[in-house]
Copies of this chain bind each other. A is one copy, B any other.
Amino acid sequence: MSKNGKLYVFTGPSGTGKGTILSQVLKQDKRLFLSVSATTRAPREGETHGKHYYFLDKQTFEDKINKGEFLEHAQYIGNYYGTLEQPVNEQLKSGNDVVLEIEVQGAMQIHEKRPDAVMIFVAPPSIEELERRLIGRGTENAEKIAARMKTAEEELKQSDKFDYIIVNDDLDCAIADLLAILRAERCRNSKL
């Protein structure tokens, strides 16, 4: 079979648990591959270049923007994030499914450029619960959390442009939802 893989965009406000959901799903679904994003933000503890992100300096990132090498890119709290186009297309051509875990701003760019992409939004059960989770994470000060909450409220307004919405109330349910979406999409009639 020379059938192309499918492109998935997986997004949601910071703190909704999209990273946790996706890492579990990637272990269970062997036909799905994670696209590695590029970013100018500093690596967090345990993050490896080329695995979690391509960590680029600002100048290099901007050069690649100007050369049109990004499928999407966005600025988010002072840093660039983006997806290089070529490695994604190579994976899809080889028949693998590819998922991009990106910020909402970048997701909307993909939506415009790639109408074939399956758009999935992870939502918190409520905006109050999201704030509790961000505070509980303990990695950011009150000012940064306030900025994230403001962004999250804007992002939640975008959710109605997505194909699927997963409400992450219970982690196991959210994982099962994403696995089901992938399985169902493989039965979807591509001729429609």
Residues of chain A whose beta carbon lies under 8 Å from any beta carbon of chain B: 121, 159-166, 176-177, 179-181, 183-185, 187-189, 191-192
Contact = CB atoms under 8 A, between A and B. Distances in A.
A185 B183 contact: no
27 contacts: A159-B189, A160-B189, A160-B191, A160-B192, A161-B192, A162-B189, A163-B188, A163-B189, A163-B192, A164-B184, A164-B187, A164-B188, A164-B189, A165-B187, A166-B187, A176-B183, A177-B183, A177-B184, A179-B180, A180-B184, A180-B187, A181-B183, A181-B184, A181-B187, A183-B184, A184-B184, A184-B185
A121 B185 CA distance: 14
Q: How many copies does the complex hold?
A: 2
What is the predominant secondary structure among interface residues of chain A facing chain B?
Answer: helix
Contacts of A162: 189
Contacts of A176: 183
A26 to B, nearest CB: 17
Given A162-B189, A166-B187, A176-B183, 4 more contacts: A163-B192, A164-B188, A177-B183, A180-B184
A165 to B, nearest CB: 5
A192 B161 CA distance: 7
A73 B177 CA distance: 35
A183 B184 CA distance: 9
A188 B177 CA distance: 10
Nearest to A179: B180
Nearest to A165: B189
Q: Which of A184, A189, A191 has the most CB of B within 10 A?
A: A184
Contacts of A191: 160
